């Protein structure tokens, strides 16, 4: 994804859905001719095929170490796959999605899928939420109610948001690019067009992981109407690391080393050979599950297992979305498209709010964040949570979004 100079060496971070348009939905955004309602409808044959593939999984021999240093442990992978095959209910999740207003709109030659939920408060602030990899719209579903109807969740009506949740190009139900060139800057430009198309004259943006990179690109671009941004992943390493590091700075460098080293295998492979890994993952649901499950295990605030931090069905919602949309290769290409990016900057001048989660990887010190964001309007430190903040700690993130972006409402 991005890289940074460190100790004279470059540290790199890389180290077809079955759907239908919903003609019955009436909550269409203002630009009706450009925006079409959408419903998820995976055929029974696809569900049957998944069950059959899971039942025929050919397992590797077990790892030769007593930990996760070789990747997903065989016993944990078998447990997850057994739950997926025998207990998980895709139709439950599909119904949950279809209770939300979903849409498609063509931007820059691609159909972009998005959820658009408007608050009953006419003064609500429009907010676009962007996921990363192996994220998806799944990670923001538990935020929708508290953000759009804060009173019902113990908040103040003044903290109401209209929520727009797009799927990145090549992810989920968004169309897959058929040509190269979909960089984060191009995605950010598409998001600016989306908010304009929905009729929003003033709005804010949030992201984590790749969503934070896209949101940062919006911050550089400063399109008309963008009031400010919130980030739970900060790309604010200095261009040149100081000769002497404070304990907090040393921790940032150490977690970067972990991110690009022991945890960086999938990033590097997707940044260099996304189509190769795509062939494997498109053919094996067990492989797709393991590929994502390992990231949930290694980057969440857990006591040794991803299940300590995330509900098993929440993980399988995300994994199933990748499987049924056959988006392993197309989503992996975001790493290939942005291989030369950098964790060093860019410096932003528009209002920026941040929340630092204790088990995020890498975790940056406040001094570097303040140096990168000259108009830092909010700095929050969560008590718990890791890299997948929205999925792990939705209540904390909701509180931080309310507090961090409140000053921009006036």
CB of 166 within 8 A of CB of 130?
Answer: yes
Measured in whole angstroms, how far is the alpha carbon of residue 14 from the centre of its chain?
16
> Helix axis angle, 265-272 relative to 328-337, nearest 10°?
90
CB 62 within 8 A of CB 138: no
Distance, in Å, from the CA atom of 384 to the CA atom of 371, rounded to the nearest integer, reads 25
Residue 108 Rama label (left phi>0; alpha psi -120 to 50; beta): left
The residues annotated as belonging to the active site are 209, 335, 387
């Amino acid at each position: 994804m991005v890289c940074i100079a460190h100790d004279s060496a470059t540290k790199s971070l890389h180290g077809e859905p079955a759907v239908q348009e919903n003609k019955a939905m009436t909550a269409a955004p203002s630009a009706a001719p450009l925006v079409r309602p959408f419903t998820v409808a995976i055929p029974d044959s696809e569900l049957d095929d998944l069950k059959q593939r899971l039942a025929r999984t050919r397992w590797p021999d077990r790892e030769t170490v007593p930990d996760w240093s070789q990747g997903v442990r065989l016993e944990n992978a078998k447990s997850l796959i057994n739950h997926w095959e025998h207990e998980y209910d895709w139709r439950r999740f599909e119904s949950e999605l279809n209770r939300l207003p979903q849409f498609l709109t063509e931007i820059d030659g691609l159909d972009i899928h998005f959820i658009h939920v408007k608050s009953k408060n006419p003064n609500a602030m429009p907010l676009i939420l962007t996921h990363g990899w192996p994220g998806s719209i799944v990670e923001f579903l538990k935020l929708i109610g508290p953000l759009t109807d804060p009173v019902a969740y113990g908040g103040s009506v003044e903290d109401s948001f209209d929520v727009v949740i797009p799927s990145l190009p090549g992810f989920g139900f968004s169309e897959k690019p058929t040509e190269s060139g979909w960089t984060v800057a191009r995605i950010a430009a598409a998001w600016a067009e989306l908010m304009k198309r929905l009729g929003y004259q003033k709005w804010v943006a949030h992201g984590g992981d790749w969503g934070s990179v896209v949101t940062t690109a919006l911050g550089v671009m400063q399109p008309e109407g963008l009031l400010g941004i919130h980030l739970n992943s900060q790309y604010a390493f200095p261009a040149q690391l100081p000769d002497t590091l404070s304990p907090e700075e040393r921790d940032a460098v150490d977690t970067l080393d972990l991110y690009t080293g022991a945890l960086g295998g999938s990033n590097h492979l997707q940044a260099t050979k996304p189509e190769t890994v795509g062939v494997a993952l498109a053919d094996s649901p067990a492989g797709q599950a393991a590929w994502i499950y390992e990231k949930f295990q290694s980057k969440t605030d857990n006591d040794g297992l991803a299940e300590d931090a995330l509900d098993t069905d929440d993980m399988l919602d995300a994994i199933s979305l990748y499987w049924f949309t056959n988006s392993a290769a197309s989503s992996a290409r975001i790493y290939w498209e942005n291989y030369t990016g950098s964790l060093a900057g860019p410096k932003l001048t528009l209002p920026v709010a941040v929340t630092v989660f204790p088990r995020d990887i890498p975790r940056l010190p406040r001094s570097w964040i303040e140096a990168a964001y000259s108009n830092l309007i909010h700095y929050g430190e969560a008590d718990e949570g890791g890299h997948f903040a929205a999925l792990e700690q939705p209540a904390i993130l909701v509180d931080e979004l309310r507090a961090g972006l409140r000053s921009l409402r006036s």
